[in-house]
Structure 1
Amino acid sequence: MKKITLIVFLLISGISWSQVLLINELDADSPSTDTAEFIELKSETPNFSTDGYILVFFNGSSSGGDKSYMVIDLNGYSTDINGLLVVGSEGVAPFPQLIISQNVIQNGADAVGIYQATVEDFPEGTLANQTNLIDALVYDTNDADDTGLMTLLGQTEQHNDNGTNANPKSIQRYVDAMDNVTFAAATPTPRRENDGSGTAVNPITISVAQAQYGEDDMFDITFTIETAPDSDLNFNINLDNYGFNTSDFTGNTNLIIPSGQNSVTTSITLVDDSLDEGDEVVQIKFVDLVEPIIAYNNYVEVRIVDNDFTIAPFGTPLNPTTGIVESTQPDGYYDSTDGLADLALRQALQDIIADPSIVRAQTYADVLAILNEADQNPANSNQVWLLYTEQGRAKLDVQTGSDNTDKWNREHTFPRSLGGFFDIEEDEVADGIDIYWTTKADSLRHGNSDAHALRAADAAENSTRNNQHYGEYNGPTGTLGSFKGDVARSVLYMEIRYIGLSVENGFPSTTGQLGDLATLLDWHRNDPPDDFEMNRNNIVYSWQKNRNPFIDQPLMVEYIWGDNVGDTWMQSLNVETNETLEVSIYPNPSTGRIYLSGLTNKADVEVFSVEGKLLKQFTAVEDYIDLDLSSGLYMMKLLNNNRSVIKKIILK
């Protein structure tokens, strides 16, 4: 009788573990920002190597067509003392063994499968199938059943996590006393058995008081364990991360939580060197925890602000300068445009800036490197200058996940949806300045990564702008409009650079068209190119081997779209007949009184709004003038002895 019972038990166990690796838990939507989503696998035996296995995720939406959208290679990993392996983002606690980006597991109706295969067996867009399938889970977040996806994977049930933002849940696998397998939605339990069984893990939490310190500061790191150990717990930490290493700090990284106690604190003193290394990030991570001691959180980041940043010799767009940065255009770069008008002028210009034997297209990922240099804040080399919000922001604050608060990202001044640009998979690789695509005037896809029309922008403001035409969108309230001429010249460049794009009057709805031309012409005229814009033109040229001609030759805009359409263009026309008036104005910004330095006698003064409206016209006979105007950005033209200059002034 005992033999029969044993045989029956073995048969049931064999049915329960017909495969060596199972999907034990899935959280695809926790919380709504998807910063703590994960999948947990379970092996029949603890410490099981997952070499030779992959995870494949399938998109069950109508556009996804039940095809793969992500593959994760499990080579080099193993399950823990409870046979669990958690694959998740850094927001999961306790901390996963295998890290993936936030917000990559789709909500459903979708599916995930374990395959005994290689990543190469599942190129993106592979239809769900059962070849070498070990286990599969079809799931949703309150979505209709995807019967087609279930059939493809041999499943008869689709599981719903039934969670909310206030009460996130995961789909969990349970086995009862009779080895019956069921799934239910419950509070997530990463790295712990769903039913509370198994060896209890004991997580340690890393805590710091602030997320940012100066280069000469000291800060404490506290480590708190969930259950006090019954003997001294020794462990080591590491703070190294890219350029930050042991030469940048002093402090103990070999730590002990004494028996019966729950925490230990170490003090880190940052070294204040004289090097301009840029802002750096300390990454606090455990080195040698031994299960059941595990990390509750890990790779905790603390920013170190470098106080050795540099300042450029030229001004920001809010305090612009001209004549300091020289164009790096080759001799004769625009010579082929001389003597031409109308369509012939357009064609000659396109032949220069879209010459396939010279011009290069970089990947969309490379644009981040370009913007870090081209849009560097002249007042702080550790920051980028943000287009619409007119402020600097740390280069390290580039948006990498779904959270866009106080982040910056890449803004297409000619929106992708209006231009018809798109990514390809290779666009996700930043392969550097020396690897590029050949590009032509009809290579419209390359408009997606053309840095002449991409700018660093506040991520939230970028979202607010969305794909509005200019004139519909005029920038945030309270800004001075220092970006307007830059924007105008960038989108006018795009019309000439790419066949299929145009800038039109009004707000067109046709793909390839952007408005409003009249608005952009006003912006160009009233916010002329400055040193910041010339500097970025030079930097983009070093990557793409083409230039924005309307920065180098701003008057050319009038011969293509403005007051001189049909007239013959000559480069000499771009040089003002009047000599430049050498005069300084201060203070700038000002409360109203502007002092003038460099005038030998009286000067004619005209003051314009940024929209080009003449507001004041008078003669200055003293070394100062009083402007009775409200706060804002203005253009002031000074004419003295047949010499002239235009200055931007800011009134507070």
Structure 2
Amino acid sequence: MKKNFTLIIGLVSLLSFGQIPAGYYDSATGTGYTLKTQLFNIISTGTIDPGYGALYTTYLTSDIDLYYENNGTVLDMYTENPTGPDLCEYTYGINQDDGTGGTSECQKYNREHIIPQSVFSSATPMHSDAHFVVPSDKYVNAQRGNLPFGVVNSVNWTSSNGSKRGSNLNSGYSAGYTANVFEPIDEFKGDIARMYFYFITRYQDQVAGWSYDMFNGTSNQVLTNTFLNILLTWHLNDPVSQREIDRNNAIYTYQNNRNPFIDNPDFVCDIWPTQCATLSSQEFILNNVAVFPNPSKNGEFSITTTAELKNIAIYNINGQLVQEIKNPNAIETSTYKVNNLATGFYMLQLQTENTSVTKKVIVN
């Protein structure tokens, strides 16, 4: 969930660390897979499994909408519209899946295993681990099914908030896989990536025995190169939000363990430094970007870059997406135009095939 940006990422870290029990990560002193094992020991010791049915109780504090509509309804990543009214609005205990409905969106909500439960044969405690089992529209959950998460190239289905299913884009940071995948909206890509990093750390003593297209059969890297690159990119492009921090704290009260990659996002690149460095080295593509005039006086500005842009996204200071231009057309050589912005401070995210960069923009 994209609620914070580069200029306030330090504040995010302070906020998240402020909620961690004293000494919780004292033994997390290593790097690479040594650090991953240390985190496994921390988050696997003294845990509680409240049971699958208790997830609905956990969701009453972990997954309520206090961030968008701010009305206490179910926060579902597959139908939540970050910039306007949701098509689907669920109230806990009223629209819960009872074995009926689910033939279209907005009928029922249920429990979505971000890592499909078929991967681990619905065994406990994975089956009821709220750190990666989330409330979801029943119909959208079924459309995702057991598909891996990836970058959709050719769309064959889209949810009400823009989450989509289709063949994976076999190029750029998602190269190496061509079958169908499911892609959430940008707002929740980092959330899902950090759920995966939690899962492959929390269950690293078992995961090598599980078969899944995203996994490589090891207990250290766990993910194939393709899916590791996808999740690392999502993690880096979509920083930890207050919603994730609050969710982590709420789940801790029920399970007595935490998602370390929300508490300290740097753990990700401390464990996979080579892959992070490779992804970061691609940022030179967007180093020579000019945004002008800045400040803008009429809600309009231009972007010049030699890179071919795939997406232009503008976020307000609260982290809400206010405008998005997919596959923008240059009005002249290497120049793109953005307009119709109200007075305010914005973060401009520019994406190419392989990487992204964020710029600050002011409209007076």
- Does 1:483 find its partner at 2:188? yes
Q: CA deviation at 1:361?
A: 1.2
* Corresponding residue number in structure 1 for 2:32: 342
* Corresponding residue number in structure 1 for 2:118: 417
* Corresponding residue number in structure 2 for 1:312: none
Matches within 5 A, 1:306-385: 317=1, 326=16, 327-338=18-29, 340-355=30-45, 358-378=46-66, 379-385=69-75
- Does 1:493 find its partner at 2:181? no
- Report if aligned partners of 2:3, 2:319 keep a CA contact under 8 Å in 1: no
2:76 partner letter? L
Q: CA-to-partner distance for each residue in 1:342-361, whole Å, 9 max, x for gaps? A: 23212211111001xx2111
- Report if aligned partners of 2:131, 2:251 keep a CA contact under 8 Å in 1: yes
1:421 partner letter? S
2:197 partner letter? L
Q: Distance in 2 between matches of 1:483 and 1:585?
A: 15
- Does 1:460 find its partner at 2:199? no
Q: CA deviation at 1:561?
A: 2.6
- Report if aligned partners of 2:55, 2:130 keep a CA contact under 8 Å in 1: yes
Q: CA deviation at 1:401?
A: 1.5
* Corresponding residue number in structure 1 for 2:300: none
Q: Distance in 1 between matches of 2:23 and 2:261?
A: 16
Q: CA deviation at 1:452?
A: 0.3
Q: CA-to-partner distance for each residue in 1:1-35, whole Å, 9 max, x for gaps? A: xxxxxxxxxxxxxxxxxxxxxxxxxxxxxxxxxxx
| Percent identity of paired positions between Structure 1 and Structure 2 | 28
- Structure with larger Rg: 1
Q: CA-to-partner distance for each residue in 1:453-494, whole Å, 9 max, x for gaps? A: 111111101011111111177994534321211111111101
Secondary structure, aligned partner of 1:589: strand
Matches within 5 A, 1:511-590: 516-563=227-274, 584=317, 589-590=322-323
Secondary structure, aligned partner of 2:35: helix
Q: CA deviation at 1:615?
A: 6.5
Segments of structure 1 that go 5 or more residues without pairing to the other structure are: 1-316, 423-444, 567-582, 599-604, 626-652
Q: CA deviation at 1:614?
A: 3.4
Calculate the TM-score normalised by the size of structure 1: 0.35
Q: CA deviation at 1:563?
A: 3.5
Between structures 1 and 2, the one with greater strand share: 1
2:349 partner letter? V
Q: CA deviation at 1:500?
A: 1.6
Calculate the TM-score normalised by the size of structure 2: 0.61
- Report if aligned partners of 2:3, 2:240 keep a CA contact under 8 Å in 1: no
Secondary structure, aligned partner of 2:131: helix
Match among 75, 80, 100 for residue 402 of structure 1: 100
Q: Measured at CA, do residues 607 and 370 of structure 1 come closer, stay the same or move farther in structure 2, by a change above 3 Å?
A: same
Segments of structure 2 that go 5 or more residues without pairing to the other structure are: 81-85, 164-184, 278-315, 324-338
Secondary structure, aligned partner of 1:385: coil
- Report if aligned partners of 2:119, 2:211 keep a CA contact under 8 Å in 1: no
Q: Measured at CA, do residues 615 and 529 of structure 1 come closer, stay the same or move farther in structure 2, by a change above 3 Å?
A: closer
Q: Distance in 2 between matches of 1:551 and 1:562?
A: 18
- Report if aligned partners of 2:2, 2:240 keep a CA contact under 8 Å in 1: no
Match among 585, 593, 601 for residue 341 of structure 2: 593
- Report if aligned partners of 1:506, 1:517 keep a CA contact under 8 Å in 2: no
2:235 partner letter? H
Matches within 5 A, 1:437-452: 445-452=124-131
Q: Measured at CA, do residues 505 and 563 of structure 1 come closer, stay the same or move farther in structure 2, by a change above 3 Å?
A: farther
- Report if aligned partners of 1:538, 1:547 keep a CA contact under 8 Å in 2: yes
- Report if aligned partners of 1:585, 1:597 keep a CA contact under 8 Å in 2: no
CA RMSD of aligned residues (A): 3.8
- Report if aligned partners of 1:537, 1:547 keep a CA contact under 8 Å in 2: yes
- Report if aligned partners of 2:50, 2:255 keep a CA contact under 8 Å in 1: yes
User: May I ask how many residue pairs the two structures share in their alignment?
Assistant: 259
Matches within 5 A, 1:289-308: none
Q: Measured at CA, do residues 420 and 509 of structure 1 come closer, stay the same or move farther in structure 2, by a change above 3 Å?
A: farther
Q: CA deviation at 1:450?
A: 0.5
Q: CA deviation at 1:612?
A: 6.6
- Report if aligned partners of 2:229, 2:275 keep a CA contact under 8 Å in 1: no
- Does 1:624 find its partner at 2:357? no
- Report if aligned partners of 2:28, 2:35 keep a CA contact under 8 Å in 1: yes
Q: Distance in 2 between matches of 1:415 and 1:606?
A: 34
Q: CA deviation at 1:530?
A: 0.2
Q: CA-to-partner distance for each residue in 1:74-112, whole Å, 9 max, x for gaps? A: xxxxxxxxxxxxxxxxxxxxxxxxxxxxxxxxxxxxxxx
- Report if aligned partners of 2:4, 2:318 keep a CA contact under 8 Å in 1: no
Q: Distance in 1 between matches of 2:199 and 2:319?
A: 37
Q: Distance in 2 between matches of 1:486 and 1:531?
A: 11
2:132 partner letter? A
Match among 81, 87, 90 for residue 393 of structure 1: 90
Q: Distance in 1 between matches of 2:52 and 2:115?
A: 15
Q: Measured at CA, do residues 611 and 522 of structure 1 come closer, stay the same or move farther in structure 2, by a change above 3 Å?
A: farther
* Corresponding residue number in structure 2 for 1:602: none
Secondary structure, aligned partner of 1:331: coil
Q: Measured at CA, do residues 417 and 584 of structure 1 come closer, stay the same or move farther in structure 2, by a change above 3 Å?
A: closer
Q: CA deviation at 1:420?
A: 3.0
Return the structure number with greater relative CO, CA threshold 8 A, min gap 6.
Answer: 2
